[in-house]
Chains A and B, each alone.
Chain A
Amino acid sequence: MGRIVGGIGLSHVPSVGPVVDRGRTQEPAWKPLFDAYVPVREWLAELKPDVAIVVYNDHGADFTFDKYPTFALGVAERYAIGDEGFGTRPLPQVQGDIELSTHLAEALVYEHEFDLTLCQELAVEHGFLVPMNLCFPHRESGWPVRAIPLQVNVIQHPLPTARRCYRLGNAIREAVSAYPGDARVVVMGTGGMSHQLQGKRFGFMNEKFDQWFLDQLERDPEKLAGITHQEIMEQAGAEAVELIMWLTMRGALAPDARRVHRHYYAPMTTGMGLITFQG
């Protein structure tokens, strides 16, 4: 039987990638971020997940505006490392879970009426890989968990609403519970928190909003799911709208799930948040 054992909300700031690849994680400017993940990795070692469902967005590595899906689920045996314009990072391919992916696709489309785009070829990039780097450090031979990418359109409006993302999480919870195979699953909601990367407002952050969002995510996600894209973008920057993906993670956990870790660090242009929930 499938079971969601944990949920993680976390930012996927691209500069983390090269910091990991070049062994700079203990530099003073980066250490506070990486230190926050030490207890998270200890917790994950106890949870022993088999699979991570990573809710993320592509940044023009493998999806373009010629055709842009609202929700796209990976249904492949493995996922290549994408080149998003800066070269391909030296990381092992990501092992998928074709059985669970297929079950999710069928359950989400038939039972829960989410009309997903299904991807048999998908290259993953920083939106997916930075969270994996932080939570599941790889070895040369591979990653310690299988992973399933779930790509969400958070960059070309109209985007799915926050509530739709939350409901997708609810559906994932039910679908995983109905899985006949054995799988301990962690769901990761990635992106955000406050940031804006264009215009005169480039570099805008709002810690007060970010802390409020974390509070609400913890205590009243159903109410938080009513937040509009307009409110997020006005208060936290246009690119902060990625935060709707954290609601998919939260929706996959019980409403009264216990919060385990929480951290916030905003050194440059992005409020980097971290929150975990016990399944």
Chain B
Amino acid sequence: MEMPRVSTSRTPYVFLAIGAACLLAGSYIGLFVAPAEQYMGNVQRIMYVHVPTAWNWMIAVLFAFGCAIAFLFKSDVKWDARLEAGLEVGALLAFLLCCQGAIWAKPTWGVWWDWDPRLTTTAVLLFSLLGILALRRFVEDPIKRAIWSSVATIIASIDLPIVYMSVKWWNSLHQQQSTPQTVSSQFHLPLRLNAFGVLFLMIGFLMLRSRIAGYRLQQELAAPPVLTGEEAGELA
């Protein structure tokens, strides 16, 4: 198994800086410049962080799925390092998504949580991602860990299209997907700025997290030190 190479470039920090700048600008416009929505009033401003989180969470899960497939086909551990990053960032975004959704649900639906298809399928995927991350902690052999978590990720990813289509397939309490055609043009700028903001932040996070996993894999896959005759005798 080839040793993963870990980059030391400053590119992830550039992505983080651009992401933070986009998020700050988008959030400022969303909070103070964009008008309140006709029925939901100011509460609708949560959309500017909730929807970009949802879009990018789906990208993170797709990324993890792609890495799992790539590892199984190429057996290159760099894809396992990327898979670990995708799983952790995906779990973070899914957790954030559920919390933001609950905060939006309380004033609009009257409850923090409802076992509606969209919410339930999202929660299932969040716990699947957490379960795979937990599985990785228990398996010491890096190759077995990579294979098992790749297979588990592919199985868990089956839920992603169900999450996406849930509001169309079932009579869901959750509203249907927002598109530029269904959202007032006055809401487009903060939504797009925050979508790119979360995207750039996510890319920076994925790169940094892959490096952490890469360093750990380097240590795990490193060949045992060659002992001199004297050292071997001492050990014996």
Genuine A/B complex = no
Residues of A at under 8 Å CB distance from B?
none
